[in-house]
Chains A and B, each alone.
Chain A
């Protein structure tokens, strides 16, 4: 037991023994420039298999920026280009990546595979080949011995290689390397050191038995009588010492979660997989290996499907690389696929909106034209979930502290835990007043892209990404003609929605006001400037608010009934009753800053909640919420969110207020007065948050797309449609107008 006994393989590498050629085992692969973190040298890990890091390799390819269009393209992204050019554009150029169950399964598989260290024998042993001139399609020199050499297959996992000719980086899940074994006797073999070597390497080799990477193949034979006397099962590493190895042929094997395409004669590769595997073959060839075919292992059916490299396949691949580069360099996104079954399982469908974009791009129709089944042969499929699974988190308890524990937000008041909420259940966090959020919690929320909104404090934060949308946004925001065009549509939609609301909810719909609003809405498209438009909007709003009280169906004289669903103590109930005298739900006109009566207080809160949700929607799509088209920029005003919000004021905010009042979710006892201002009590606020979120989660049938979605989804859809209009994919922005 001396120190040399424990010498690691790495130590051997640092002092290479002159007796045998281990060099090819330790040949480090080039570390790609965009993956500086990858230690492809890998040998340290192999020598300490128990310390092997589990997540050394990132499971995702890096997002390349657009300026990197001329850099190497990862083979996986070229696979995506064949699958759908638009998907490629989203992921490669815009850096948007969403996970769904399929991608999650894929990365689970690759997590295992990627533990490989990527070591691969050198293409040619310079000692054995007298003229080492490897060209792209060079076949290795045939073995010198006349007898056919014995062969052995070794496996290398997770090897990363690049080809400058193609400009492609490929990460190969598995490479099967066929090695030719040339008995060592033909070379300089010095038997006197054998005993020493055997002992040492036997011990060293033991850890390798549970590290199947490089030497997974069982020992083929006992070609070397020198070592048959070892007691342990013959360690595979010994072959390294006793044979001259030469790489004969390599075969890349790629793992896929799905199943192969069923062709007319046999199972086939999907085109996208053919691209990726073909690239791997070409990259291996460009690195001097002899490689004619590759294999894809389809995990769903547990089948191997082969690809033979032919000149036709190579031309097809090279053409597609060139096309992908052109696409990546272009500022416009490729159009979505048409009614493709691929979209149904695509994780990016909610961002890409293939069917909606197609419908509006080819068949722009306004909501007033009734949908006719003959004009739209293919109604859009709803490729998004109808509503979010997650809920909003409102923090309203003054002085509480929000921390994070594992994947849960812990909300504490002093030492008592008020609540624990799982991050996976939260869409966004709104803080009202003095609430502390720990740095750790903020970081985790940012990491998971959960927006945080501060109320009565100012300030938002969130990462902004989509560059092209914002460039178009700025360009159009500075063009008054286009601003006016959009503003007209927004104002018209708002007036129409207000009118519909009056007709639906008013006890006795006022015909003059309704006629007046229709007349104003009709004049909106002729507005010559933003000022004139503001005037029209104001006139219509005045008509509307004059009649708002007719939609409140709770009078002063209503019997004193208890409040269902509100769990409050009797003392509080008593207090509410005494205060009830002071407040009524009478409404005369809109007053803000400060609101002077309960209805105005509720409207103000509802509008600021809606502005928050519109800001979140515009951020999620990649807009700058502070630059608007109708609302002009001012410090601290989310102008774009206010633009988006106009048509939703009646649909979400006012409707939530009326529902809360009419269903007695909010009662006069829920208000307090401070000077002129009327405000909600904490309990009243809590009740109104529930009413508002209920409205946001209501499923409605979308007037254009005819499928059911929640209002929260509609907000996001409208923001995405606005982005589509900005980038010119659809000819008109179509506001949301209820039927």
Chain B
């Protein structure tokens, strides 16, 4: 059985960091990332993605960035479920992860 099916949840957490040399493209990349994850810092997003969403995000970004000038890094932090705040810790301003079972507004 594949690893995907053994994990309790199929989403993994990724740290998505980018370096974009052009302001226009930067804004586009920012907007795309905002649709897929939480904005942590300048140029750093925390995205919970399943394999399909990862491909989707990469595909969208691929079409925007200039491949010989820009760079987007994907750092996999492992399965989102149960990872909690253990992998990321913060100095200074607090880092907190949304962990409620549902959204109530």
Task: Give complex CA distance A425, B10 in Å.
Answer: 13
Contacting A at CB under 8 A, from B40-98, are: 48, 50-56, 59, 80
> Quick check: A101 and B51 within 8 Å, CB to CB?
yes
Task: Give complex CA distance A345, B37 in Å.
Answer: 26
Contacting B at CB under 8 A, from A647-704, are: 685-686, 689-690, 693-694, 696-697, 699
Task: Give complex CA distance A697, B8 in Å.
Answer: 11
The reply to whether the CB of A558 lies closer than 8 angstroms to some CB of chain B is: no
**Contact of A394 with B105 at beta-carbon distance under 8 Å, contacts A406-B34, A408-B34 already known:** yes
A418 and chain B: residue at smallest CB distance? B105
> Quick check: B35 and A108 within 8 Å, CB to CB?
no
How distant is B68 from chain A, measured CB to nearest CB, in Å? 17
Task: Give complex CA distance A690, B102 in Å.
Answer: 6
> Quick check: A386 and B8 within 8 Å, CB to CB?
yes
**Contact of A101 with B35 at beta-carbon distance under 8 Å, contacts A396-B105, A418-B105, A696-B101 already known:** no
**Chain B residues closer than 8 Å to A697, beta-carbon distance:** 101
The reply to whether the CB of A338 lies closer than 8 angstroms to some CB of chain B is: no
How distant is A670 from chain B, measured CB to nearest CB, in Å? 14
> Quick check: A389 and B55 within 8 Å, CB to CB?
no
**Contact of A690 with B100 at beta-carbon distance under 8 Å, contacts A387-B8, A418-B105 already known:** yes
Number of interface residues of B (CB under 8 A): 29
The reply to whether the CB of A381 lies closer than 8 angstroms to some CB of chain B is: yes
A682 and chain B: residue at smallest CB distance? B104
**Contact of A382 with B5 at beta-carbon distance under 8 Å, contacts A101-B54, A422-B35 already known:** yes
**Chain A residues closer than 8 Å to B52, beta-carbon distance:** 99-101, 103-104
Task: Give complex CA distance A385, B50 in Å.
Answer: 11
A interface footprint on B1-26 (CB within 8 Å = 1, 0 otherwise): 11001011111000000000000000
The reply to whether the CB of A309 lies closer than 8 angstroms to some CB of chain B is: no
> Quick check: A400 and B105 within 8 Å, CB to CB?
yes
**Contact of A411 with B101 at beta-carbon distance under 8 Å, contacts A104-B55, A105-B55, A389-B10 already known:** no
> Quick check: A699 and B8 within 8 Å, CB to CB?
yes
The reply to whether the CB of A708 lies closer than 8 angstroms to some CB of chain B is: yes
Task: Give complex CA distance A543, B54 in Å.
Answer: 52
The reply to whether the CB of A12 lies closer than 8 angstroms to some CB of chain B is: no
How distant is A613 from chain B, measured CB to nearest CB, in Å? 12
> Quick check: A693 and B102 within 8 Å, CB to CB?
yes
> Quick check: A393 and B103 within 8 Å, CB to CB?
yes
The reply to whether the CB of A275 lies closer than 8 angstroms to some CB of chain B is: no
Contact of A406 among B31, B48, B100 (CB under 8 A): B31
How distant is B32 from chain A, measured CB to nearest CB, in Å? 9
Task: Give complex CA distance A397, B103 in Å.
Answer: 12
Task: Give complex CA distance A383, B6 in Å.
Answer: 9
**Chain A residues closer than 8 Å to B35, beta-carbon distance:** 406-408, 422, 424
The reply to whether the CB of A421 lies closer than 8 angstroms to some CB of chain B is: yes
Contacting B at CB under 8 A, from A317-348, are: 344-345
Task: Give complex CA distance A419, B100 in Å.
Answer: 14
Task: Give complex CA distance A697, B9 in Å.
Answer: 11
How distant is B49 from chain A, measured CB to nearest CB, in Å? 9
Range class of the A interface residue count: 35 or more
A103 and chain B: residue at smallest CB distance? B52
**Chain B residues closer than 8 Å to A99, beta-carbon distance:** 52
> Quick check: A389 and B9 within 8 Å, CB to CB?
yes
**Chain B residues closer than 8 Å to A686, beta-carbon distance:** 104
> Quick check: B103 and A426 within 8 Å, CB to CB?
yes
**Chain A residues closer than 8 Å to B50, beta-carbon distance:** 101, 385, 389
**Chain B residues closer than 8 Å to A425, beta-carbon distance:** 48, 103
Task: Give complex CA distance A706, B56 in Å.
Answer: 33
The reply to whether the CB of A392 lies closer than 8 angstroms to some CB of chain B is: yes
If over half of A's interface residues share one DSSP class (helix, strand or loop), that class is named, otherwise mixed; here it is mixed
Task: Give complex CA distance A408, B10 in Å.
Answer: 22
**Chain A residues closer than 8 Å to B11, beta-carbon distance:** 389
Contacting B at CB under 8 A, from A75-125, are: 99-101, 103-105, 108
B interface footprint on A371-396 (CB within 8 Å = 1, 0 otherwise): 00000000001110111010111111
Task: Give complex CA distance A694, B100 in Å.
Answer: 8
> Quick check: A690 and B101 within 8 Å, CB to CB?
yes
> Quick check: B9 and A689 within 8 Å, CB to CB?
no
**Chain A residues closer than 8 Å to B1, beta-carbon distance:** 344, 381-382
How distant is A390 from chain B, measured CB to nearest CB, in Å? 9
**Chain A residues closer than 8 Å to B54, beta-carbon distance:** 101
Contact of B2 among A104, A344, A392, A685 (CB under 8 A): A344
> Quick check: B55 and A694 within 8 Å, CB to CB?
no
> Quick check: B36 and A381 within 8 Å, CB to CB?
no
> Quick check: A689 and B2 within 8 Å, CB to CB?
no
Q: Which among B52, B53, B100, B101 has the greatest number of chain A C-beta atoms within 10 A?
A: B101
**Chain B residues closer than 8 Å to A685, beta-carbon distance:** 104
**Contact of A693 with B51 at beta-carbon distance under 8 Å, contacts A387-B9, A406-B34, A708-B8 already known:** no
B interface footprint on A338-379 (CB within 8 Å = 1, 0 otherwise): 000000110000000000000000000000000000000000
How distant is A453 from chain B, measured CB to nearest CB, in Å? 13
**Chain A residues closer than 8 Å to B8, beta-carbon distance:** 386-387, 699, 708
A106 and chain B: residue at smallest CB distance? B55
Task: Give complex CA distance A76, B53 in Å.
Answer: 24
> Quick check: A108 and B102 within 8 Å, CB to CB?
no
Task: Give complex CA distance A391, B51 in Å.
Answer: 18
> Quick check: B9 and A386 within 8 Å, CB to CB?
yes
> Quick check: A344 and B105 within 8 Å, CB to CB?
no
> Quick check: B103 and A391 within 8 Å, CB to CB?
yes
How distant is A619 from chain B, measured CB to nearest CB, in Å? 19
**Chain B residues closer than 8 Å to A426, beta-carbon distance:** 103
**Chain B residues closer than 8 Å to A386, beta-carbon distance:** 7-9
> Quick check: B5 and A689 within 8 Å, CB to CB?
no
Task: Give complex CA distance A697, B99 in Å.
Answer: 12
**Chain A residues closer than 8 Å to B7, beta-carbon distance:** 386
Task: Give complex CA distance A101, B8 in Å.
Answer: 18
> Quick check: A411 and B5 within 8 Å, CB to CB?
no
| Contacts from A to B (Cβ < 8 Å) | 99-101, 103-105, 108, 344-345, 381-383, 385-387, 389, 391-397, 400, 406-408, 411, 418-419, 421-422, 424-426, 685-686, 689-690, 693-694, 696-697, 699, 708
| Contacts from B to A (Cβ < 8 Å) | 1-2, 5, 7-11, 31, 34-37, 48, 50-56, 59, 80, 100-105
A-B contact pairs, 17 of them (CB 8 A): A99-B52, A101-B50, A108-B55, A381-B5, A385-B10, A389-B9, A389-B11, A389-B80, A391-B101, A392-B103, A406-B34, A406-B35, A426-B103, A689-B102, A690-B102, A694-B101, A699-B8
